[in-house]
Amino acid sequence: MSPQAKKLVFFVVAVVSLAVALRYALRGLAAVTAGPEAEVISLLKAAEKELPPVSVPAGQLLQPHAMQYGRLNVQAEGALATVVSTLDLDGKVGDTHVSSLGWEKVGFDRHAGVWAPSAGWAPRLAAALAVLEKRRVAIEQGQEAVLRSLQMPGQALGDLGTVWTQWAQLKKRRYRVEGWYLRSEPDRVAVTEEWHLEGDSLERPFDQKGRTSLSLVEVNGGFFFENGVL
């Protein structure tokens, strides 16, 4: 390569490097001048493309296949910010399909000038799924006391019904949830659950599929079933 060609190559590399550095500098400057509201919104829009997993208590992960935040309302003060929005999400927890639409509230905090979600990208949805999973395990393992504890505080803890009487007698019970379909409002979450129950009864093997409508209400930061757990 001739000296002239080498100079040309070095010149092109220098120009490209300068352009990249300038691009990131301008991006940082734009973030500063735009304020925390714009920074937080840009993070949510990036999450829509990157589809980060949502941690659900009990070691589960919700893996989104599609997610979209809408009607964003950002409140920021100091190093804290809160976004109230709608969230349209489709994904899976293990083998269970999850489809959710409605009200969500995402908190952010800032460390060393960088904003990040303080409790995940969909904390309200994660909390609702955690209670639904706790109910599923309780049904499968016959934990009647746990099922009663998931009912609304102050609600009469009477008989769980003939359905539970039948299910509790099954041996080798396996309760699988094929789908959770959630509609979230500020004061409650309506859930449709598609389930598949298998086990052994005294007469014959038991194999049944069904669909149950459930209603979750938030009380003191936790979710409880409003109109029964079955």
**Cα-flanking dihedrals φ and ψ of residue 150, to 5°?**
-85, -5
Q: Please write the tens of the pLDDT for every residue from 175-221.
A: 999 999 999 999 999 999 999 999 998 778 999 999 999 999 998 88
91 within domain boundaries: yes
**10 lies in a domain?**
no
Q: Inform me whether the pLDDT recorded for 168 exceeds 50.
A: yes
Q: Which of 203, 221, 47, 175 is nearest to 117 (CA)?
A: 47
Backbone angles phi, psi at 204, to 5 degrees: -165, 165
Q: Residue 62 is part of which domain span? A: 51-230
- Domain harbouring 74, CATH code: 3.10.450.50
Residue 93 located in a structural domain: yes
Do the beta carbons of residue 58 and residue 136 sit within 8 Å? Answer: no
Contacts of 170 (CB under 8 A, 6+ apart): 197, 199, 200, 201, 206
* Domain assignment present for 96: yes
Alpha carbon distances (Å) from 125 to 1, 29, 151:
61, 34, 19
Q: Does 23 map to a domain?
A: no
pLDDT tens profile 44-54: 999 999 999 99
| Spatial distance between the Cα atoms of 129 and 93, rounded to a whole number of angstroms | 9
Percentage of the residues of the chain whose pLDDT score is greater than 70: 83
pLDDT for residue 126: 96
- Per cent of the chain over pLDDT 90 is 70
CA distance 124 to 219: 13
- Within a domain: residue 56? yes
Q: What is the pLDDT of residue 12?
A: 43
